[in-house]
Amino acid sequence: MSYLKMGFNFLKYLLISNPIKLLVLITAIILFNYAGTIPSEYVYYDLVSQSKDGNTHVYVIRSHESNDDSSYDIYSSNKPQKVINNQLVVWDYHDGNVVLYVFSAILSLVLLILTIFCIVNDEDDIGWDMRGCYTKAITTLIYCELEGEIYYYMIMGRLIEKRKDQIRFTSNLAREMRIFTMSDVYRLPKFSTKTQKRNNILNKLGIN
C-alpha cells in the first residue's frame, strides 16, 4: 500500500512540476494518434501517353493545376500504375497526415533531447525534477509520533530521527532528512514506540 501511495504522489508531483513539458508530450501523443486518420483518396488524371524508361514507368497526364488542355504533367513510378478508361489512377496520400507526423516527431525529439541533456548535465532546474518529485513522494510516507515529549519521525516502521522539537515549514521532509531513495529507507533501523508496541499487542489479543 505504501508503494502505491508513493507512486501516485510521484506522478502527482511530476504533473505539478512540469505542466508545460507534459502539455507538449500530450500534444505529441495526440498528433501521432491522429496522424494517418485524415482520409486519402484516388485521383484520376486524363492519360495522354505512357512509356517505360528502363525500370521506370512514365506517364504523361493532363494537369489539374491549369485549365489549359495543352498543359501536361509527368508522373513516373518504378511500378506500373492502374489505368482505367484512359485515365491514370493515383493514390493521393493526404499531406495533412505527413504534417501531423512531422510535428509529433519534432515535439518528441525536443523533449527527448532536453531530457538527455538534463540527465547528462545533472540539470534538474530545466529538467523534469524527478529527484525532487521522488523525495516529495517519499515525504508522504513519513509520519511523526509524540511520546514522552520526544518526536519520533518514522517511515514504514523504521526510525529516521528522534528530536525534542517538531520540524515545521518544509515541503520536502525526506530531502531535509537526507532520504533520497528507498534504499535509504531500508537502511534505517526498524522501530516502534511504546505506544505502537502496546497497540500491536492489544490488536493481537483482539482487544483493539
Q: Is residue 16 part of a domain?
A: no
Q: Is residue 113 part of a domain?
A: no
Residue 118 in grid coordinates: 538534463
**CB-based contacts of 49, cutoff 8 Å, min separation 6:** 59, 60
Q: Is residue 67 part of a domain?
A: yes
Among candidate residues 180, 175, 124, 136, the one with its CA nearest the CA of residue 6:
136
- Confidence at residue 36, expressed as pLDDT on a 0 to 100 scale: 87
Residue 63 in grid coordinates: 494537369
Residue range(s) defining the domain that contains residue 67:
41-92
- Give every strand in the sheet of 72-77, ordered side by side: 72-77, 56-62, 41-53, 87-92, 82-84
Q: Is residue 6 part of a domain?
A: no
Among candidate residues 162, 163, 143, 157, the one with its CA nearest the CA of residue 192:
157
Q: Is residue 12 part of a domain?
A: no
Q: Are residues 85 and 136 in the same domain?
A: no
Q: pLDDT by residue (tens digit) across 27-38?
A: 999 999 999 888
Q: Is residue 123 part of a domain?
A: no
Q: Are residues 199 and 144 in the same domain?
A: yes
Q: pLDDT by residue (tens digit) across 43-97?
A: 888 888 888 888 899 988 888 766 666 788 888 888 888 888 888 888 888 889 9
Structural domain count of the chain: 2
Q: pLDDT by residue (tens digit) across 86-127?
A: 888 888 888 899 999 999 999 999 888 887 877 777 666 566
Q: Is residue 80 part of a domain?
A: yes
Q: Is residue 112 part of a domain?
A: no
Q: Are residues 141 and 84 in the same domain?
A: no
Q: Are residues 140 and 77 in the same domain?
A: no
- Cβ atoms of residues 105 and 19 within 8 Å: no
**CB-based contacts of 54, cutoff 8 Å, min separation 6:** none
The model carries a pTM of: 0.59
